[in-house]
Amino acid sequence: MFSRRQFLRVGGSLGAAALAIGVLPRLVGSPVLISEARADEVFEVSHSDSEWRTLLSAGQYQVLREEGTERAYSSPLNDEHRDGTFRCAGCALELFSSRTKFDSRTGWPSFWAPLEQAVATRSDRSFGMQRNEVHCRRCGGHLGHVFDDGPRPTGLRYCMNGVAMNFAPHAA
């Protein structure tokens, strides 16, 4: 399985040719593949591809840098219930408080709100559906998606990849 970035990175002319002849839309089920994220986005924390590969585990790299998705119920953070903060595995920015975590029964850590100024969203039209991608506002790492089927008070469900985060328990 390829991530969107891997697929688009295969080659501009190959991807453009496949799109032009209509092969690409049939392969992925959608005529719109390219994220609205700009190629020129600059983040406070940035590294070369080889530096990211050194800094992150293979799973973290695949999710954070290639917009992959971990298997449902594979993250220990799904069952993390202590008081603390969930941080970006790429840059350690505090993203979510444990106070906003809830069991969505989806197999991924879910939250009804991020911390202020922690995440950013962008439109994701991959795989034949419209979703809102959530990424770390400081390093641009892909975290997951946000949906409008969450609990009160926001009604939102930030469905995050556990491998994209680390947990820091609060001191007792």
Say which residues have a Cβ less than 8 Å from residue 61's Cβ, sequence separation at least 6.
Answer: 52, 53
In the beta sheet, which residues pair with residue 144? 134, 160
Q: Is-catalytic flag, 88?
A: no
Q: Residue-wise over 136-164: b if at least 16 C-beta within 10 A, else e?
A: bbbbbbbbbbbbeebeeeeebbbbbbbbb
Rounded CA separation 110/103 (Å): 7
Please give the structure tokens belonging to residue 59: 């799973």
Catalytic: which of 88, 91, 136, 159? 159
Positions marked catalytic? 159
